[in-house]
Amino acid sequence: MNIFKLILRNLSYYKKKNLALALGVAISAAILTGALIVGDSVKYSLNRIVAQRLGNVTHVLKSGDRYFTSDLAGKMSQNLNIPVSGLLVSNGSAVADGGQKRIPNVQILGVDENFDILAGTENFYEELGADEVILSTNLANRLGVSVGEDILIRMTKASLIPLNAPFVSDDENIVSSRLKVKDLAGTEQMGMFNLKNSQTAPFNAFVSKDFLSVLMEFENKSNLLLLSGNSNTETIKDALKKVWSVEDAGIILTTSENSTEIDAGSERVFIDDAIAGVLKNIPQLKFPVFSYFVNSLNTKTASTPYSFVSTIPDKSLEDTEVIINEWLAADLKISKGDTINIEYFVVGPLRALKEDSVSLRVKLVVAPEGYFADKNLMPNLPGLSDAGSCSDWESGVPIDLKAIRDKDEEYWNKYKGTPKAFISFSLATKLWINRFGSYTAFRYSSEEISKEELARVIIENLEPEKLGFQIENVREKGEFAAGNGVDFGELFGGLSFFLLMGGILLTVLLFLLNLENRKDQLQTLSTLGIPLNRIRKMMLSEGMAIAFLGSVAGIFLAILYNELIFSALNGVWKDIVRSDMMVVHIQPETIVKGFLLTLLVSFLTIVFPLNRFLKTKLAKYKKGKEKLSGGKRWISLSIASITGFTGIALIISQFFRNEIINSTVFFAAGGLLLISGIYAFHYLISGERNKSLKNFSLEHLSWNNTFRNKMRSLSIVLLFAIGTFLVISTGSNKKDLFVNANDLSSGTGGFLYFAESTIPVLHDLNDPAVKFDFGFENNYSFVQLRKFEGDDASCLNLNKISNPGILGVNPETLQSRFKFVTKTPYLDESDPWLSLNQDLPGNAIPAIADETVIKWGLGLKVGDSLEYLNSEGESMQLLLIGGLAPSIFQGSVLISNKYFLEQFPQNSGTHTFLIEGNSIDTAEISSEINNGMRDLGWDMNLSANRLAEFNSVTNTYLSIFLVLGALGLLLGTIGLAIVLFRSILERKQEIALFRAIGFSKTKIRKHIIIEYMILLLTGIVIGFISAVIATLPSILSPNTEVSFSFIVLLLIILLLNALLWTFGLATVALKDSSIVQALRNE
Amino acid sequence: MILNLQNISKSFSISHDAPARIVLNDMNFKMEEGDSVAILGPSGSGKTTMLNLIGTLDRPDSGKIFFRDKNIVDFKPRELDAFRNQEIGFVFQFHHLLPQCSVLENVLIPTLVLDDRDEKKQKYALAEKLLKRVGIWDHKDKLPGKLSGGECQRAAVVRAMINNPSILLADEPTGALDKENVGIIADLLMDLNKNEGLSLLVVTHSQELASRMNKTYELVQGKPVLK
C-alpha cells in the first residue's frame, strides 16, 4: 500500500463525485482558455486583415495633396532595389443599377503593372484596359454587380493646384466615367487594400493609372508610392532625397523669352513657403515675382476689367506708386502722376470673396517691352492662362463677361496675360498674401546659373518632408495597431468574470462537498498517525489529478465556447468587431497557457478550502481553549460600518456638489454598500441565535438555522447579492439609443443630420446663392468641418490608434452644444467651445474629443497631448483640453479652424457636415440634400442614428456581459443546489427526527424552503439596493432606458430556479427510504 | 509506567455567554506497562475526552500527560503524528475502514508513513499473520462493504496493531456489535494483552468487557475512581 495507490483507489471509488468536480474545473478551464483564445483569435484576425489590406506593401510615400512624377517610382525602385509602385488615388462614389445603388467613400486606385508585384498577383492588374475596372468583392456585392456589367464611377478630379486657392475654377472638380467590371478582387488579390488601420474592409475600385490620368487631364502623375522591402524609413527618405526632382516638388523652371532669366514657378500657382524659403536664398536670385488677377483697374471715369498686376524687379517703387503700360494708360486716359484704383478679390475660407481696392499714383507709363512685356509673369492658371479668348475664361471668381470689351480680347490675343500694371513687391505682399503662398515666381540670371544647376541646387536644399512628403512604415504601424488594439482576451476575461466566478465557486463547493463526505475517513487517517501534511498532499494530489482531467476536458469545451463566441461576433455581436472576417485561431501555447492557468486556479481553488477544512475539522490539537467562531465578529461590524458610512458619504457628497454627477463615485458607493451589506449579514449571523421561546415555531426554527452553519448561509447570500448586483448594474447601464437626441446637450448636439462627402465641398452651404445652386429650399443650416485624414479612433475600430482624424471647426458654431464630462483649466466652463481658439503655452493647439475616445481609443486623459506632423512635416502638439460625453464626433479630434488652417494651409474644402433642421421634415430635408449633393459621394445619416451606432457597441458589450453574467448566475444556482444538497445531507438526521415525531412532509418542506428563502431574499435585497445606488446616474439619466421588467424577470427566474432546487432537494431528503436510513443510523 | 496523567483538566465552551462545562477536573491517573484497564461511566462523564487526550486527538486545558516519562502535551505536531502512528493503536465504536480500500489495504494504511521498503514488507507479513489470527485473511481482498460488522471491527483492531503499538486505546470497541462478536473482539483484545504484552485502555459501557480487564475505573465528576 502506498499513497499513490490510495489516491487511485479514491479517484476510482468516488468517480461520480470526482467527475462532478472535474466538470466544475472544466467550466473554469473553458472560460479561462476560451477568453485567451478569443484574444488570440481577434489579434490574429486583425493581423490577418493587415496582411490582406497591405499585401506585400511595407512602406508608403504619401504626398498630401501634391502630385509627383510617375517616374519617381522607377527611380526609387532602382535606388533601393525593391519593388515600388506608383498609384494615382482619388476618392469617389460608385453607382449602379441606374442610380438606384450608390456607394460613397470608394477608393479609386489608378494602378499600373507594378501593382501586381505589391499585391502578390500575376497579370491581374497589369492588363486593366481603359474603361475597365476591378472591384473589391465587398463593393461588387454592395452594388450587386458582377463581372461584365457596367458601373458609373464619380470621383474628385485631381488638381495640381489646391482647390481653394484663389482663381482656381471649381466648375469641373468632379469627373465620372462608365466602366466595365473586368474582374473582382478578393483578399487574395489585395482587394481590401487600405492604408488606414481598421478592420473594416474599404470599398475599392481599381482602374488603369493611364486611363485615370486621362480623366484627370494630366500626365505622368502619381500621389502615392507603395514600397515593398526591408529597408528602414530613414534609408527610404535618403533614397527619396537622392532621386527626386524639381518636377516632383511641383516646381516649373522655364527660360524667359529673352533667355536672360530663368523663371522658377509652381504648378500650384502660389509658391509654398517651404519652397519659397529655398528659392529666395539661392545667390543667383535676381528678384521674386507676385502676380495677381484683379477685377478692374479704374479711374473715376474709366475702367479696364480683369487684368493681371505684377511686381517690379527692383525697389524703385513706393507702396503708393504704380507703373502702368501704355495700353492701360491709353485705355484709362491717364498719365504719370494720375491716380489709379485697383479692385481685386481676396479669397477667404470656403471661397468667401471679399472685394477690396487700393488707390495708387502712377509713377511711370512704360512701353510693353522687355520685362514689361513678359507673358511669363502671368502664372499658369488653368482656365485662365490656357484660354483662347477672354470669353473662355474660367476662374474661381465671378467674371462678368459683359464687361469684357473687344479691346480686351485684342490685348489678350496679342499679349495674353501680360500684366498691365506693376507695383512694389512689398505692397503686393500686403494686399494679396494668402495661405497658399506669397510668391508666384522667382527669377534667376541665366548667365550666372544654368537651369540644370538651379534644379540641382533647389533639390539639394529642399526637404521633401517640408512639402508634406511622408514615408510611413505602414506594415509596422499596422501590425502595432493590430497587436496593441482592444485586447479581447482581457475583455472576455472581464466579461466572463462572473461566469468564471461561478465556475470557481462550483469547484470550491463540489470540492468541499467531497471533503465533507470524507470527513470521517480523513479523521481516521489522522487518528492513525498519518501526518496532516501527508493527508493534505494526498487530497491535493487527488484534487489536482481531477483538475488535470477537468482542464483537459475544459480545453475542448473552450474550443466549443470559442466557436460559439465567434459565430456571435461575426453575427449578433457584430457591432463590436465591425467585420465578418474574425476567425478562430488556436495557438498551442495559448492552450498550454490556459491549461496551466486553470491548473493554477484549480490549485488555489482547492488548496485554500482544503487547508481551512483540515485546520477546522482535523487539527483539533490546539493550545488552550477552543475559540468560538464569533470571535471575529467585531471585524465584520467594523468593515460593515466603514464601507457603509463611506458609501453613504460618497452619495451625499455628490448631491451637495453642483458639478456633473460622477458615475464612478456612485458605482464605488454601490460597491461599498454591497460589501457593507454582506459583512452586516455576517455580523448578524455571527451573533447569538434567538433563544426566546415565546413564539417558538417552525419559522423561528428556520431563522435560527441560518445561524447554525454560518459559512453556508454566507455563501448563499454572497452568491445572490453579487449576482443581483451585477445583473442590475449591467441592465441599468444599457443606453437608450434615441432618447432626447434633439437636445443641444445630447450627443447629437441637437443636429439633425451628420454627413460626410467624399468630394470636398468648397463653398459655404449657408450662403443663399450656394444653397440655390444646390437646390436647397427648406429651412436648415450647415456647420461645415474641415478634415485631416487619420485613423478612426472610435469604438468601431479595434486597432490601437495614435493619430485619429482631425476635424477643423469654427468653435462659435458649436456653442452651447454637446456636454463636457472632463475638463482641464484651459477649458472655459461658460464657453467651452471658444476655448479652442485660445493660445496655449508651448504653441500647443487646444483640442477636444470624446472622453471615451481619449480614454479607451487613445489610452490618454484630458491634459495629455497628441503629436502629428503638419503639412510641412513639422511636429504639432494637440493638447486635449476637454472630453465630451459620447457624441457624434466619436473617432476624431476637434480643433479650431484657426489652427487647422495654420497647420494645413492648403487643405481645401470641407468633408464633414452637421445639419440643423426641423425633425418633422426629416424626409423632405433628406431627400433635398441627398439630391443636391449626390455627385459628391454624399453619405448622410440622422445624428441620432450615428450616435446609436456608437452606443450599440457599448450596449453589445453590456449584452455580452449580461449573457455571460446570466450564465455565471446559472452556474451559481447549481452551486446553490450543491450548498443545499450539502446542508440537507448534513441534516438528514434532523429531518428524520421531525418525521419520527410526527411532522408532515409538507410542513418539513415548508420549513426548509423558508429557511433558504430567507437567505436568498437577503442576498437579493443587498444586491438590489447596492446596484440601484451604483447605477443611480444611469437610472436618472435621460439617455438611458432601464428595462426594469427585464431585471425583475431575471430575478424571478433566479428565485424560481433556487426555489425549484430547494423544493426538489427537500423532497428527495424527505423520501421515506432515505429517512429510514437516517433513523437507522441514529 | 506507561501512562501518568497529572492534574488534567478539560472543559468545553458552548456559547459566549454560557459558562464553560468542566468535563475533567484536576484528574490524575496512572497505568502500568502491559496492564489492561477499563474506564466506565455514564454518557458525558468524560470517558472519550480522556481517551482523546491520551491519544493526542485533543489537548488538555491544564495538566501533564506522561507517556513513559515524556510529557506528550509538549509534543510538536510532527512528534504527535509519529507518536500516534508508532506508540498508539486506536479502535473506535465504528470501524472507520475506508470503503474504497480492501481489508488488507485498510490494515496497511498506518504504514503509509513508512519509507523503508523492507519495513513495509515486514508489515505486510505482520498483516497476514494478524488477519489470519483474527480469522479474516480469506477476506483480505474484499472491500469493507462486503464484510459483517464484526469482521470489519476485527480488521480495525488489526489496523490498530499493524505498527506494534505500546498501548491500544479502544473507545466502545464492541458498542456496535452483537453479542457473538462482542465475545470475539473481547477475546482478541485480551489475547493481545496477555500474549503480546500490549497495554490496553478500554472505554466501555459493557460490564462484560470491563470485567475481563485487570482494573476497572469509573469516572465520577471528572475523576477516575477505582472499582
Enter the ipTM.
Answer: 0.76
Q: Give me the residue from A524, A625, A688 closest to B61, CB to CB.
A: A625
Question: What is the nearest CA distance from A521 to chain B, expressed in angstroms?
Answer: 6
Query: Which residues does chain A have within 8 Å of residue B12's beta carbon, measured at their own beta carbons?
Result: 626
A248 pLDDT band, cuts 50/70/90, is very high
Q: Give me the residue from A13, A529, A628 closest to B110, CB to CB.
A: A529
Whether chain B has a CB inside 8 Å of the CB on A1: the answer is: yes
A811 pLDDT band, cuts 50/70/90, is very high
pLDDT, mean of residues A558-579:
75
Domain hosting B149: range is: 3-226
Query: Which residues does chain B have within 8 Å of residue A528's beta carbon, measured at their own beta carbons?
Result: 84-85, 90, 109-110, 159
Asked if A835 and A826 count as a contact pair (C-beta separation under 8 A), the reply is yes
Question: What is the nearest CA distance from B175 to chain A, expressed in angstroms?
Answer: 14
Helix or strand run (H / E) with residue A294: strand A292-298
Whether chain B has a CB inside 8 Å of the CB on A5: the answer is: yes
pLDDT tens for each residue of A747-767: 889 899 999 988 888 888 998
Q: Give me the residue from B17, B84, B108 closest to A529, CB to CB.
A: B84
Determine the Cα–Cα distance for residues A709 and A717; give it in Å rounded to an integer: 13
Query: Which residues does chain B have within 8 Å of residue A3's beta carbon, measured at their own beta carbons?
Result: 112
Triad A149, A155, A160: Cα angle to 5°: 140
Residue A340 has pLDDT above 80, yes or no: yes
pLDDT tens for each residue of A847-882: 999 988 888 788 888 999 999 888 777 889 999 999
CB contact under 8 A, A528 and B83: no
Q: Give me the residue from B57, B78, B98 closest to A527, CB to CB.
A: B57
pLDDT, mean of residues A482-506:
75
CB contact under 8 A, B16 and A6: no
pLDDT, mean of residues A563-588:
75
Whether chain B has a CB inside 8 Å of the CB on A13: the answer is: yes
Asked if A366 and A459 count as a contact pair (C-beta separation under 8 A), the reply is no
CB contact under 8 A, B109 and A1: yes
Kindly give the interhelix angle for A1072-1081 and A988-996, rounded to the nearest 10 degrees: 100
| Residue (of A713, A722, A602) closest to A979 by Cα position | A713
Q: What is residue A926's predicted lDDT score, i.e. its pLDDT? A: 87
Asked if A826 and A879 count as a contact pair (C-beta separation under 8 A), the reply is yes
CB contact under 8 A, B109 and A528: yes
Q: Give me the residue from A532, A621, A625 closest to B57, CB to CB.
A: A621
| Residue (of A1015, A1035, A349) closest to A721 by Cα position | A1015
CB contact under 8 A, A625 and B113: no
Q: What is residue A118's predicted lDDT score, i.e. its pLDDT? A: 93
CB contact under 8 A, A14 and B13: no
Q: What is residue A622's predicted lDDT score, i.e. its pLDDT? A: 45
pLDDT, mean of residues B105-130:
85
CB contact under 8 A, A531 and B81: yes
Determine the Cα–Cα distance for residues A892 and A835; give it in Å rounded to an integer: 18
Sign of the dihedral defined by the CA atoms of residues A360, A364, A370, A373, in that order: positive
Query: Which residues does chain A have within 8 Å of residue B100's beta carbon, measured at their own beta carbons?
Result: 9-10, 12-14
CB contact under 8 A, A524 and B96: yes
Q: Which residue has the higher pLDDT, A299 or A6?
A: A299
Question: What is the nearest CA distance from B81 to chain A, expressed in angstroms?
Answer: 5
Residue B148 has pLDDT above 80, yes or no: yes
pLDDT tens for each residue of B23-81: 888 899 999 999 999 999 888 888 888 988 998 888 899 999 999 889 998 888 778 88
Sign of the dihedral defined by the CA atoms of residues A895, A901, A904, A907, in that order: positive
Grid cell, residue A100, equals 438606384
A968 pLDDT band, cuts 50/70/90, is low
pLDDT, mean of residues A95-108:
87
Q: What is residue A690's predicted lDDT score, i.e. its pLDDT? A: 54
Q: Which of B100, B119, B157 to mutate to test the interface with A (most CBs of A within 10 A)?
A: B100
Grid cell, residue B62, equals 491544564
Determine the Cα–Cα distance for residues A429 and A439; give it in Å rounded to an integer: 8
Query: Which residues does chain A have within 8 Å of residue B84's beta carbon, measured at their own beta carbons?
Result: 527-529
Residue A731 has pLDDT above 50, yes or no: yes
Query: Which residues does chain B have within 8 Å of residue A522's beta carbon, measured at their own beta carbons?
Result: none
CB pairs under 8 A between A and B: 92
Domain ranges of chain A: 59-246, 251-464, 630-739+950-1082
Determine the Cα–Cα distance for residues B32 and B3; give it in Å rounded to an integer: 7
Question: What is the nearest CA distance from B85 to chain A, expressed in angstroms?
Answer: 4
Q: Which residue has the cell 484630458?
A: A862
Asked if A160 and A67 count as a contact pair (C-beta separation under 8 A), the reply is yes
Question: What is the nearest CA distance from B222 to chain A, expressed in angstroms?
Answer: 17
Question: What is the nearest CA distance from A16 to chain B, expressed in angstroms?
Answer: 13
Query: Which residues does chain A have within 8 Å of residue B105's beta carbon, measured at their own beta carbons?
Result: 1, 5-6, 9
The number of distinct structural domains making up chain B is 1
Q: Which of B61, B98, B116 to mutate to test the interface with A (most CBs of A within 10 A)?
A: B98
Share of chain B above pLDDT 90, in %: 21
Range of weakest confidence among A353-362, A574-583, A830-839: A574-583
pLDDT tens for each residue of A304-320: 999 999 999 888 899 99
In chain B, which residues touch A (CB < 8 A)? 11-13, 15-17, 20, 55-59, 61, 77-78, 80-86, 88, 90, 96, 98-101, 104-105, 108-113, 159, 163
Asked if A544 and A599 count as a contact pair (C-beta separation under 8 A), the reply is yes
A969 pLDDT band, cuts 50/70/90, is low
Query: Which residues does chain B have within 8 Å of residue A14's beta carbon, measured at their own beta carbons?
Result: 100
Share of chain A above pLDDT 90, in %: 33
pLDDT, mean of residues A450-461:
94
Q: Which residue has the higher pLDDT, A981 or A181?
A: A181
Contacting A residues, span 621-650, partner chain B, CB-CB under 8 Å: 621-626, 628, 630
CB contact under 8 A, B77 and A13: no
CATH code, domain with B220: 3.40.50.300
Question: What is the nearest CA distance from B10 to chain A, expressed in angstroms?
Answer: 9
Question: What is the nearest CA distance from B23 to chain A, expressed in angstroms?
Answer: 13
CB contact under 8 A, B90 and A630: no
Q: Which residue has the higher pLDDT, A350 or A59?
A: A59
Question: What is the nearest CA distance from B223 to chain A, expressed in angstroms?
Answer: 20
Determine the Cα–Cα distance for residues A680 and B43; give it in Å rounded to an integer: 40
A501 pLDDT band, cuts 50/70/90, is confident
A529, closest residue in chain B (CA to CA): B85
pLDDT, mean of residues A434-438:
85
Determine the Cα–Cα distance for residues A583 and A562; give it in Å rounded to an integer: 10
Query: Which residues does chain B have within 8 Å of residue A2's beta carbon, measured at their own beta carbons?
Result: 112
Q: What is residue A281's predicted lDDT score, i.e. its pLDDT? A: 92
Whether chain B has a CB inside 8 Å of the CB on A1081: the answer is: no
Q: How many helices (H) and strands (E) does chain B have?
A: 7, 10
Read off the pTM. Answer: 0.72
Strand partners, A884: A820, A850
Q: Which residue has the higher pLDDT, A976 or B165?
A: B165
Helix or strand run (H / E) with residue A675: helix A663-686
CB contact under 8 A, A528 and B80: no
CB contact under 8 A, B108 and A1: yes
Query: Which residues does chain A have within 8 Å of residue B99's beta carbon, measured at their own beta carbons?
Result: 13
CB contact under 8 A, B84 and A5: no
Q: What is residue A518's predicted lDDT score, i.e. its pLDDT? A: 81
A631 pLDDT band, cuts 50/70/90, is low
Q: Give the mean pLDDT of chain A.
A: 84
Query: Which residues does chain B have within 8 Å of residue A626's beta carbon, measured at their own beta carbons?
Result: 12-13
Whether chain B has a CB inside 8 Å of the CB on A1080: the answer is: no
Q: Which residue has the cell 494651409?
A: A905
Q: Give me the residue from B15, B58, B113 closest to A529, CB to CB.
A: B113
